[in-house]
Amino acid sequence: MTNEQYQEAIDWLFVQMPNYQIDGQQAYKPGLDNITKLCAFFGNPQDKIKCIHIGGTNGKGSSSNMLASVLQETGYKIGLYNSPHLIDFTERIKVNGKNCNKEFVFDFIQKLKTIPEDIRPSFFEFTTIMAFEYFYQQQVDFAIIEVGLGGRLDSTNIIKPLISAITNVQLDHQNILGDTIEEIATEKAGIIKSNIPIISGDDNEVVKNIIREKAIKENAPFIDSTYIDTSLSSDLKGNYQQKNIRVVLAAVEELRKLKVPISDKDLENGLLHVHQNTGFIGRWFEFSKNPLTICDTGHNQAGLEYVFSQLNSIDRHKHVILGFVNDKKIDDVMNLLPENSEFYFAKPSVNRGRHPKDYENLLQEAKIFYKIFDSVQEAYLAAKERCTNEEMIFIGGSNFVVGDFLEKNLEISE
């Protein structure tokens, strides 16, 4: 298989399959019927691996990577399924921090063409079965599976995990999951299964009660990680990571109850070596020191509140590069923008990317200093030219903005 053949296969996959990452709501296909048929066609590999299920609005990516790192430090072979990818498709499926083998991806895409016509999988359903099969073939000790969207109807919900976790519940994807916190929490609580421990990382009592009530109904042990007191830290920076660390500590304790030996030293080292062990980037990621350049994929109101609050705590003039997709409520973001900043708004390269000219009226009303660009890279180069070493650059607003930036600049920095 050549690189050209691999790219052709990936391009075919993106064109053939409905893809929420690219096309938005029209590609979202809720329900487990399709994934059930798809898994059966491939021999139900998800039933042959030990899984851990992690959902939530924010923090599920960080929490799953932290937990993977801890288990890797213990010596286990760990599969990790995250989404979306920032640069290359294979980032979604990892074993011990290494991206999925491209040869496997290519071969699996060929198998897709033999699927019966009555199974019309979405892009995410296809990547989900691909992850299950890869982890099974790789004989992982544990597979950490991140929920794609919601929970109850998400295709990952076909698994029967050892433990489950919901990091938090915030307003996001309201056009799909519901307009209120209560509705969204109910959807996310759909991953709770009979007699399987569920960890709740949200300190909102409304959310906590919905998760607890579902746990009681399913006779599932309910663990509230918000009460955990710890001084442990992680190499994943960002003030919000402390909440995710508590979720991971609760997960470790539940695994210990299942006779999975994890030492305190491995726990500590795992939290401190997430980047090294899993290759995880994008959460308060320090791209450079001179000038200080930070990326963060926080993209909904709650995530951006955390990120912008931390930016406000840094006593530097800021050059802030932001971009959004079509289904984001940008007027909410305008009220959160960090202080002492000038702004560079850019269109993410995906189909869902929204051009800043479409919401320039909101920028004018916000009375901020801003410029508009057709691409993230153009915005970055403009910011870099204006930024001194005493100032800083921030890139965020969307996974796709960070992905566009890293794709153009990560190899150069390395």
Which of 105-119, 166-180, 296-310 has the weakest average pLDDT? 166-180
Q: Which two tokens stand for residue 161?
A: 């995990």
* pLDDT tens column, 43-54: 999 999 999 999
pLDDT at 171: 65
pLDDT value at residue 176: 52
Say whether pLDDT at 114 is over 60: yes
**What pLDDT is stored for residue 206 in this prediction?**
92
CA distance 155 to 149: 9
pLDDT the model gives residue 292: 96
pLDDT for the residue 237: 86
Label each residue of the chain as H, E or C: CCHHHHHHHHHHHHHHCCCHHHHHHHHCCCCCHHHHHHHHHCCCHHHHCCEEEEECCCCHHHHHHHHHHHHHHCCCCEEEECCCCCCCHHHHEEECCEECCHHHHHHHHHHHCCCCCCCCCCHHHHHHHHHHHHHHHCCCCEEEEECCCCCCCCHHHHCCCCEEEECCCCCCCHHHHCCCHHHHHHHHHHHCCCCCCEEECCCCHHHHHHHHHHHHHCCCCEEEHHHCCCCCCCCCCCCCHHHHHHHHHHHHHHHHHCCCCCCHHHHHHHHHCHHHHHCCCCCCEEEEECCEEEEECCCCHHHHHHHHHHHHCCCCCEEEEECEECCCCHHHHHCCCCCCEEEEEECCCCCCEECHHHHHHHHHHHCCCEEEECCHHHHHHHHHHHCCCCCEEEEECCHHHHHHHHHHHHHHHC
Pair type for strands 198-200 and 78-81:
unpaired
Q: At 100, is the pLDDT very low, low, confident or very high (cuts 50, 70, 90)?
A: very high
pLDDT of residue 333: 86
pLDDT tens profile 358-395 = 999 999 999 999 999 999 999 999 999 999 999 999 99
Higher pLDDT, 218 or 332: 218
Lowest mean pLDDT among 125-139, 245-259, 289-303: 289-303
Indicate if the pLDDT at residue 299 is higher than 80: no
pLDDT of residue 18: 52
In the chain the domains, ranked by start, together with CATH numbers, are 3-278 (3.40.1190.10), 285-409 (3.90.190.20)
pLDDT at residue 223 greater than cutoff 90: yes
Confidence of residue 27 (pLDDT cuts 50, 70, 90): very low
Tell me what pLDDT residue 413 has.
42
Give the integer Cα–Cα distance in Å for 231 and 220.
29
Dihedral angle, C-alpha 192, 194, 198, 204, nearest 10 °: 50
315 pLDDT tier (thresholds 50, 70, 90): very high
Considering the chain, what is the average pLDDT of its residues? 90
Report pLDDT for 22.
43
The answer, yes or no, to whether the previous bond of 116 is cis (omega within 30 of 0) is: no
